[in-house]
Structure 1
């Protein structure tokens, strides 16, 4: 039981680190982006030149083929009929760029849509439909509870148990992690925006929306034999793409009046309107050291006209924390050089 709790706790903590927030909300000692990034550097170690979370990943590219349905709720050009080039990144949570793919059950997908009018839509998604916590106090307490015990190098199960007991809002995510077997591929997993956004159409009507990308491939749980390969996710995707493109459907879920938009721990009820806005097509993958995603900061608040942040406090906080991480790894590269940073792993932030 302690081992299972520690595994779930580590997964929750790693996911949270990827959504680390900031703002001047805590007093008297202000919770800032550098403080948060410093904490998960302390938790996961510093690997110069790499992202502070989701350090291990690979770049992908392709396009989004819009069917025009999304234009009913957003005037963003990406939802007009036609194709939009996309670059992206698959990753697993965690600060170690050499971590085995089987070390955590969560997969992540980040995308950058380059619209013809020069605007961009950037999004970072996870394979979990909800988040663990929704306030800065909760997040910082969680990150501290997940700090490695010096004696074991792993989170202390007693501290994690105490944190979860005092924060019942973490239960939906913990239940999902406990019941959802890791996927066998990056290509057969669904990915979720988790946060809500505001979509405005050409008539000026605004709706709260969350989205997901749902694979055309059927979900399959991982074969334990496959996990003997520490890079099985990347290798499986490389092999799959040699056989042809991989596709997901972009599903826009529209909130009903009264649905919570500022709390990512709460899933919206089933039965909400869903719009299939088109098909995401991934055509190729490349190692991140030389890939198109290498220097992209997938800030989820970089949005085109027709999409805007909601009142979810995670969004501005994610933007700030991502900026700190990006600036640190860029300074490290400038100081030490790309060859030094990547000499051991070949990966890149």
Structure 2
């Protein structure tokens, strides 16, 4: 059904595309006092994600379908003038990551949305971690948790049809002009045939802190060495199989490109890009060498909370960051509790994925 919806035009097409990928931000909830109690919470947001995609016990409420990966990150020292984080010094740190498609349905076809995600946990020698979740789109549709929740509500499937109401989806976009940049990107976006050929953006801004304590606003992206050949994936589960095949031939690499903001560049609005002429630094190379099943691999029990940061990296004033953190935690608690109580038949089915 999801593949069929992708082919439909107009607001309906945008609604389907955004509905699944927006789970990439994993919802938004009460954190840091930025929302009044009773109005919006992480629990309400995750409940809405479940209302839209269904409940699949033991799986993440967003990016339910994915694969674990392992490798290393080699810093080259180029970012040391801007951050005192150990991982940016020359050297190698271990990485546990996960590729996924958006949405809460672990059985969705890989072509159901044009967005892929890359989540990473990098562990420094001192034990501090950097966890980051990135996505293969350069801009986010909305700027606030409230707008995201409203979009999810607009996209909730209608009873009896299993599809969102196009009028509600269209009304949301008409009332939110900040979605224009994302919708422009969506018009030309197509599902890639491989995780290996996509670039992955942080979307949110962060701050690097240097040895003197000065702060530098940044965004980053992972840029692949592999290039797309224009081919389309075959079948419903081609992404994981393609990754295994590619890694059997050798490691896959991405370059961490960090963009430095100029004064006045927005750091609290993920719907707005920064000018292309901003300075960009290649900070090092991500090298992935192996995959593991998401149900038994090391990424299974990792909550890729974007606010788990080492000394030298801090959150910006983007309100989506504490919101993502709160909802990630709620989703993690739900799936791990359910997994412990899954009947044998359900666990066998889950592990078969």
Please give the TM-score of this superposition, normalised by the length of structure 1: 0.95
Q: Kindly report the root-mean-square deviation, in angstroms, between the aligned alpha carbons of the 2 structures.
A: 1.7
Maintained 8 Å contact 2:145/2:323: no
1:92 alignment partner in structure 2: 101
Give how far 1:2 is off.
9.1
* 1:12 and 2:18 correspond: yes
2:194 alignment partner in structure 1: 185
Selected match of 1:230 from 236, 260, 274: 236
Give how far 1:171 is off.
1.2
Selected match of 2:59 from 30, 46, 50: 50
1:294 alignment partner in structure 2: 300
Give how far 1:175 is off.
1.1
1:346 alignment partner in structure 2: 351
Q: Secondary structure of 2:20's match?
A: helix
Maintained 8 Å contact 1:17/1:143: no
2:81 alignment partner in structure 1: 72
Give how far 1:26 is off.
4.9
When structure 1 is superposed on structure 2, of 20-29 and 152-161 the one drifting more is 20-29
Maintained 8 Å contact 2:24/2:135: no
Q: Secondary structure of 1:63's match?
A: strand
2:29 alignment partner in structure 1: 22
Unpaired segments ≥5 residues, structure 1: none
1:118 alignment partner in structure 2: 127
Give how far 1:135 is off.
1.7
- Once residues 133 and 41 of structure 1 are traced to their aligned partners in structure 2, the CA distance between those partners, rounded to angstroms, is 20
Give how far 1:142 is off.
0.4
Give how far 1:221 is off.
3.5
- Once residues 22 and 345 of structure 1 are traced to their aligned partners in structure 2, the CA distance between those partners, rounded to angstroms, is 28
- Once residues 27 and 138 of structure 1 are traced to their aligned partners in structure 2, the CA distance between those partners, rounded to angstroms, is 15
Unpaired segments ≥5 residues, structure 2: 1-5
2:165 alignment partner in structure 1: 156
Question: CA offsets per residue over residues 62-93 of structure 1, 9 Å max, x none?
Answer: 00011111112110000010101000000000
Selected match of 1:254 from 237, 252, 260: 260
1:268 alignment partner in structure 2: 274
Q: Secondary structure of 2:103's match?
A: coil
Q: 1:343 to 1:125 in 2, by over 3 A?
A: same
Maintained 8 Å contact 1:60/1:87: yes
Question: CA offsets per residue over residues 141-163 of structure 1, 9 Å max, x none?
Answer: 10101101223212222211111
Give how far 1:6 is off.
2.2
Maintained 8 Å contact 1:333/1:341: no
- Once residues 17 and 229 of structure 2 are traced to their aligned partners in structure 1, the CA distance between those partners, rounded to angstroms, is 20
Give how far 1:25 is off.
4.5
Give how far 1:219 is off.
3.0
Q: 1:99-178 to 2 correspondence within 5 Å?
A: 99-178=108-187
- Once residues 26 and 296 of structure 1 are traced to their aligned partners in structure 2, the CA distance between those partners, rounded to angstroms, is 27
Give how far 1:103 is off.
0.8
Q: 1:198 to 1:209 in 2, by over 3 A?
A: same
Give how far 1:204 is off.
2.0
Q: 1:245 to 1:2 in 2, by over 3 A?
A: closer
When structure 1 is superposed on structure 2, of 266-275 and 16-25 the one drifting more is 16-25
1:285 alignment partner in structure 2: 291
* 1:303 and 2:312 correspond: no
Maintained 8 Å contact 2:218/2:259: yes
When structure 1 is superposed on structure 2, of 202-211 and 190-199 the one drifting more is 202-211
Question: CA offsets per residue over residues 278-313 of structure 1, 9 Å max, x none?
Answer: 110000011111111010000000000000000000
Give how far 1:220 is off.
3.7
Q: 1:158 to 1:220 in 2, by over 3 A?
A: farther
